Amino acid sequence: MRMNDLNVIYGINGPVVTVRESHSFSMMEMVYVGKERLVGEVIGITSELTTIQVYEETTGLRPGEPVTGTGSPLNVTLGPGILDNIFDGIERPLKAIEQNSGAFIARGSSVSALDEEKQWNVALRVKPGDELTGGDIYAVCPETPIIEHRCMVPPGLSGVVESVRPDGAYRVHDAVAVLRDKKGGLHELTLCQRWPIRTPRPVAERLQTTLPLITGQRVIDTLFPIAKGGAAAIPGGFGTGKTMTQHQLAKWCDADIIIYVGCGERGNEMSQVLDEFSELVDPKSGRPMTDRTVLIANTSNMPVAAREASIYTGITLAEYYRDMGYHVAIMADSTSRWAEALREISGRLEEMPAEEGFPAYLPSRLSEFYERAGMCVNLNGSDGSVTIIGAVSPQGSDFSEPVTQNTKRFTRCFWALDKALAYARHYPAINWTQSYSEYFIDLDPWYAKNLGEDFLKYRRRINRLLQEENQLMEIVKLIGSDVLPDDQKLVIETARVIRVGFLQQNAFHKDDTFVPLEKQKQMMRVILHLYRKARQLVSASVPISGILETGLFDKLVKMKYDVPNDRLDLFDGYIEEIDRLLSELVSA
C-alpha cells in the first residue's frame, strides 16, 4: 500500500481515533485527522487497528473522514523566534492563533511555530571548505537583545561546506549555507531545524553537576541547594504555593534561559506569568524577563493529549538551547497533570491499569523525562545544562501516591511543601524536616571556595538547631513550653528566629524576594552569634526572660527587611549590638 493511500477514520472515543486495516503508519508518527486536519499521533498499531491520539477536540469528526500521515514523528521547529514567545503543547504560537481566530481557540489552526516573515540579522561563522559535524555552529543572530541564537548543524549530519551566503538579513527558512556530505549529497542549512520531541538530543559527554543553580531563596540555596543540570521535585497539596515557588525560581534563578511549562494548570495563572514577566526586569541585563523566557501553556481545559506532549516540547526546546552552550532551567507545573493525561489516554486505550489507575509505564516515562536533565559537554564542545524543576500535585495531599513516589526516585532534590506552614502563611512553605537535597556532596566544594568553609559550618548548625527544635516541639505539644529548662527554651527561641527571620521569605518585598548568597551567610552568622552568646549567659544562670527582653530576637527576625541587599556592612552593627546588650545584661 502506498503512503497516504486513502486511510479513513473508523472509530472515535474522546481524543482517541482508530483507523482500520492500514499498514501505512508507523509508531509515534504525526498524522492529520479529518477534514479540518487536526494534529494527532499514532500510539498503537495492530494488523486490525491503528490507534491515534488527537491533540484537539474531536467533536464533529465523522467516521470516513481522511487520515493522512506525515511520515515523521511528532516534532518541533527549532530556530530563532522561540524566545519571548508563548506556545501551546505542540508548539503552536498562541499569539498568532489569537490573531487568526480571536480569544477562543478554534480547531485545526495551522500556524507555523516560528514567524516565517521576520528577518534576522545573521552573521555566518563558516567559509567554503570548512568541515562541519552535527552540533557545529554555522551562523549566529541576536534572537533577543541578551541572547544570541546559534544555528547548529543538525545532529547526525556532517560534511564539507560547499557554499555560504554573505552576512545579512534572512528569514528562518532561507538557506544560508550548503553542506556536501560524504556521499556527495547536498544539504541546505537554514536558520531552523526540526527535532522529534520524544527523542533526547545527543551530547558528547555528561559532566558531574558541580555548579549550584542560585535562586536567591534562602531555604533552597542554604538548606536544600540544587545543581545546574539537576532535577528537583516540588510536591504539595493545593494552596501550598507550588506555583508561587515556581514563579520565584523562574524569576530569580541564575539560568540563561527559562522554559516555563504550564501543563494542565489554570489559565489565569498563565496570564499572570505573562503580565509579570513582561514587567519584570532581569537584574543582570536590565532587559525584560521575557527576553530569556519561553512559555508553554497548555491549560487544563485545552486538549488532554497536547498536555501530554507539552512536557516533551518544553524539554526539547531546553535541550536545543543547551546545545548552544546556555544554562537552561525548565519549570514544569505540574507533572501530575501530565501523569493524569497519561492515565486518561491509557484508559481510553483500555490498557491494564497499575497503581491508582495509572499505567504501568508511568515510572519509566517519568525517569525518561528527568534523565533529560544534566550538565553536558555538547557536540560542539561547549558546556551547557538543563535543570528540571517539576511540581507535583499529589492527590489528596498524600505524598505516598504513585506520581510523588516515583518522582522521588528520579530526582535528587525534594522540596516538600507543607500544608500547616502554608496555613500559617509561612512562605515558601518548604518543610525542612521532609525535604532533602542529594547535591551537597557535589556542591560543597563550590560553596567552600566561593563563600568560605564558614558557610558550610553555619548551615550544619542551623540544621542542628532546627532538628533540636523539632524534637523539643514534641514535648511542648504535650506539656507546654513553660516547663522546659532555659537552655532548651533558648533553642526554641533561636529556631523561631531561623524559621520566621530566615526560612520565611517575602516574595513581594523588594529586598527579600531575592537574597544574594553572601547576605544569606551573614544572616546565619548573626543568628548563630546571638545563640552562642545567649547560651553562655544561660549557662551562667542569667534568666532567659531577661535575654528576650533585650528585643534582640525580634530585631533579628526583621533583619531581612532592615538590611538592604547592597549594605551587607550593616551586619557588623548587629554583632556589636548583640555583644553590647548582652554584656550590659551580665553587668546588671
Q: What are phi and psi of 457, to 5 degrees?
A: -65, -45
Shortest distance (Å) from residue 98 CB to another protein? 5
- Which range binds another protein by CB under 8 A, 135-143, 223-231, 297-305, 429-437? 297-305
> How far, in Å, CA of 87 to CA of 487, rounded?
57
DSSP H or E run through 30: strand 29-33
Name the nearest CA neighbour of 510 among 331, 291, 280, 284: 280
Shortest distance (Å) from residue 543 CB to another protein? 15
- Which range binds another protein by CB under 8 A, 129-137, 213-221, 374-382, 556-564? 556-564
C-alpha separations of 422 from 237, 417, 430 in Å: 10, 8, 9
Residue 76 CB neighbour total at 10 angstroms: 22
> How far, in Å, CA of 263 to CA of 63, rounded?
31
Task: Pick the closer one to another protein by CB: 58 or 209.
Answer: 58
Does 302 participate in binding another protein (rule CB under 8 A)? yes
Shortest distance (Å) from residue 300 CB to another protein? 3
> How far, in Å, CA of 228 to CA of 493, rounded?
35
Q: What are the E-state strand segments in 153-308?
A: 159-164, 168-170, 177-180, 186-189, 193-196, 205-207, 231-235, 257-263, 293-298
Shortest distance (Å) from residue 395 CB to another protein? 6
Footprint on residues 179-208 left by another protein (CB under 8 A): none
Does 365 participate in binding another protein (rule CB under 8 A)? no
> How far, in Å, CA of 251 to CA of 243, rounded?
12
> How far, in Å, CA of 446 to CA of 431, rounded?
25
> How far, in Å, CA of 122 to CA of 143, rounded?
10
Helix axes 453-479, 517-539, angle to 10 degrees: 50
The correct pick among 174, 347, 368, 512 for binding another protein (CB under 8 A) is 347
Shortest distance (Å) from residue 105 CB to another protein? 5
Shortest distance (Å) from residue 302 CB to another protein? 5
Footprint on residues 100-119 left by another protein (CB under 8 A): 102-107
Footprint on residues 244-273 left by another protein (CB under 8 A): 262, 264, 266-268, 270-272
Footprint on residues 218-247 left by another protein (CB under 8 A): 237-239
Task: Pick the closer one to another protein by CB: 157 or 306.
Answer: 306
Task: Pick the closer one to another protein by CB: 166 or 396.
Answer: 396
b/e per residue 202-228 (b: at least 16 CB within 10 A): ebeeebebebbbbbbbbbbbbbbbbbb
Task: Pick the closer one to another protein by CB: 98 or 454.
Answer: 98
Q: What are phi and psi of 419, to 5 degrees?
A: -65, -45
Shortest distance (Å) from residue 1 CB to another protein? 19
Footprint on residues 2-21 left by another protein (CB under 8 A): 10-14, 18, 20
The correct pick among 23, 95, 127, 464 for binding another protein (CB under 8 A) is 95
> How far, in Å, CA of 31 to CA of 15, rounded?
14
Spacing of C-alpha 514 from chain mean position: 18
- The footprint of another protein on this chain (CB under 8 A) covers a number of residues equal to 80
How do 75-78 and 293-298 pair as beta strands? Answer: unpaired
- Which range binds another protein by CB under 8 A, 123-131, 162-170, 189-197, 350-358? 350-358
Cell numbers found for residue 157: 549530519
Shortest distance (Å) from residue 266 CB to another protein? 6
Shortest distance (Å) from residue 452 CB to another protein? 30
CA geometry: angle 539, 541, 547, nearest 5 deg: 90
The correct pick among 283, 353, 445, 546 for binding another protein (CB under 8 A) is 353
Shortest distance (Å) from residue 86 CB to another protein? 6
Footprint on residues 270-289 left by another protein (CB under 8 A): 270-272, 274-275
The correct pick among 395, 433, 471, 539 for binding another protein (CB under 8 A) is 395
Footprint on residues 45-74 left by another protein (CB under 8 A): 57-64
Cell numbers found for residue 447: 560553596
Three-state DSSP state, 307: helix
Sign (positive/negative) of CA torsion 192, 197, 203, 208?
positive
Task: Pick the closer one to another protein by CB: 207 or 354.
Answer: 354
> How far, in Å, CA of 104 to CA of 102, rounded?
6
Task: Pick the closer one to another protein by CB: 75 or 505.
Answer: 505
Footprint on residues 503-532 left by another protein (CB under 8 A): 508
CB 290 within 8 A of CB 282: no
Task: Pick the closer one to another protein by CB: 353 or 445.
Answer: 353
Shortest distance (Å) from residue 561 CB to another protein? 7
Task: Pick the closer one to another protein by CB: 348 or 408.
Answer: 348
DSSP 8-state assignment for residue 113:
S
Does 587 participate in binding another protein (rule CB under 8 A)? no
The correct pick among 77, 112, 199, 397 for binding another protein (CB under 8 A) is 397
Footprint on residues 116-155 left by another protein (CB under 8 A): none
Alpha-helical segments (H) within 480-516: 486-496
Does 400 participate in binding another protein (rule CB under 8 A)? no
Task: Pick the closer one to another protein by CB: 18 or 75.
Answer: 18
Task: Pick the closer one to another protein by CB: 92 or 322.
Answer: 92
Does 425 participate in binding another protein (rule CB under 8 A)? yes
Footprint on residues 460-489 left by another protein (CB under 8 A): 476-482
The correct pick among 6, 424, 570, 586 for binding another protein (CB under 8 A) is 424
Three-state DSSP state, 334: coil
Cell numbers found for residue 141: 543572530
CB 498 within 8 A of CB 465: yes
Residue 186 CB neighbour total at 10 angstroms: 11
DSSP 8-state assignment for residue 381:
S
Shortest distance (Å) from residue 390 CB to another protein? 15
